[in-house]
Amino acid sequence: MFINRWVKSKILLFLTSKKSAEFDINNTKNVLFLRYDRIGDMVITTPVFRELKLAYPDIKITVLASKINQGVLLNNPYVDKVITNHKNHFFFDLPSLVWLRRKKFDVCFEFDHSVIPHAIIRLKVIKPKKVISIKKEGRYGISGDELLMYDIFTEKLKKRHFRDIWLGILKPFNINSKSNNYDLFLNNQLKVEAQNFIKQYSSKFLIGINLEGAVSGKKITINQLYEICEGLYKYDKNIQIIVLSAPNNFQVLSQKVKKMALHYVEMSYRTNKILSAAALIKELDLIITPDTSIVHIASAFNKPIVSIHENNKYSYELFAPTSKLSRTVFSNSKNSLDGFSIDQLLSFGFELINLIKKG
């Protein structure tokens, strides 16, 4: 076991070794961001692109995004180019990584808060002059500051939301952020599609319920959905519940919602793109969700939210809703949503419905 750990530590040190580049970041002309993970992670990073671009309008910003989260950046005026990356398929990505290497980036921002081999390998290929990341705890007995690939580590501030931790990564550029709001840019077609859908419920209080997210185990079951819908309707007969779904689960969930036979519950239209779902969320009055991606999308429009979170206050601190009006139900488990209280969720729902109606 010790020998195996020693070997891994030597490989890690080798991969992260590099010759120091003589470059003043004040002369930065082009930057690359590594953000090829989940939708929510990209949403909470959008303030970083905006604040850097506003402070330095001439800097060209490229983002290495995932197939899943790149849609968040559609229409974003602060990002000049988006390249698709596939985290677990290095050789598939190699042509695009070589292309990025030829761009000779002045600075690369790497957003992982721990030592991640796939990020290190990509940095090794791309070879930016300077690499900035937040302080890392290390791996295989190697501390973060021993990883010579990284030129600057910014502090991972305690008791802070990840959006503010990520904004802190701009500190080497002496940027004082004017805003930490998220950015989602909807075109007119998406807006009209959402508005046309909700026209049929013009006099109703619209509640969007999302059942699941990207992380396994974080979901509301169909039986729980039924109980939640009944409870909300008993409290307020003027509600209309819209069930939100990822495209890959739309057909199955549509059938289940239909079998519920509740006249005040309907599936949303099929939202094949992230911003299509965002456009609909923007038109709703209240969002209920166990998924932090939907939490962050709703927060981008300051929508009232009832979120469901595992019983992990540290994780909640990092990914909490940022809407001015939100409540969170915590489960009994640190790693799943098992045992969350539907009664408490309904109580929070009733409270927010009253507050919203009072303005």
SS3 labels along 47-112: HHHHHHHHHCCCCEEEEEEECCCHHHHCCCCCCCEEEEECCCCHHHHHHHHHHHHHCCCCEEEECC
CA dist 137 and 106 (Å) reads 25
Give the model's pLDDT for residue 1. Answer: 52
Answer whether residue 2 shows pLDDT above 70. Answer: no
pLDDT tens for 7-62 read: 777 777 777 787 777 888 899 999 999 999 999 999 999 999 999 999 999 999 99
30: which residues sit within 8 A by CB, 6+ positions away? 59, 60, 61, 62, 103, 104, 105, 106
- Round the average pLDDT of the chain to a whole number and report it: 93
Give the model's pLDDT for residue 116. Answer: 85
CA 156-158-160 angle, 5° bins: 95
Beta pairing class for 205-210 and 239-244: parallel
117 pLDDT band, cuts 50/70/90, is confident
Q: For 188-357, give the CATH class.
A: alpha beta
Residue 334 CB-half CA count within 13 A = 3
Helix or strand (DSSP H, E) at 156: none
pLDDT tens for 195-234 read: 999 999 989 999 999 998 777 778 899 999 999 999 999 9
0.85 cut: is pTM over it? yes
Q: Give me the CATH code for the 7-173 domain, please.
A: 3.40.50.2000
Answer whether residue 159 shows pLDDT above 60. Answer: yes
Q: How many CB atoms lie within 10 A of CB 131?
A: 27
Portions of the chain given CATH number 3.40.50.2000? 7-173, 188-357
State the angle between helix axes of 117-126 and 90-102 in degrees (0 to 180), rounded to the nearest 10.
Answer: 40
Burial environment of residue 254 by CB neighbours within 10 A (0 to 12, 13 to 18, 19 or more): middle
56: which residues sit within 8 A by CB, 6+ positions away? 28, 173
Give the model's pLDDT for residue 3. Answer: 54
Give the model's pLDDT for residue 44. Answer: 97
Mean pLDDT, residues 67-88 taken together: 95
Given its phi and psi angles, is residue 302 left (phi above 0), alpha (psi -120 to 50 degrees) or beta?
A: left
Q: How far, rounded to the nearest angstrom, does the alpha carbon of residue 129 sit from its chain's CA centroid?
A: 28
Given its phi and psi angles, is residue 104 left (phi above 0), alpha (psi -120 to 50 degrees) or beta?
A: left
Answer whether residue 115 shows pLDDT above 90. Answer: no
Is 184 within 8 Å of 43 (Cβ atoms)?
A: yes
pLDDT tens for 120-136 read: 999 999 999 999 999 88
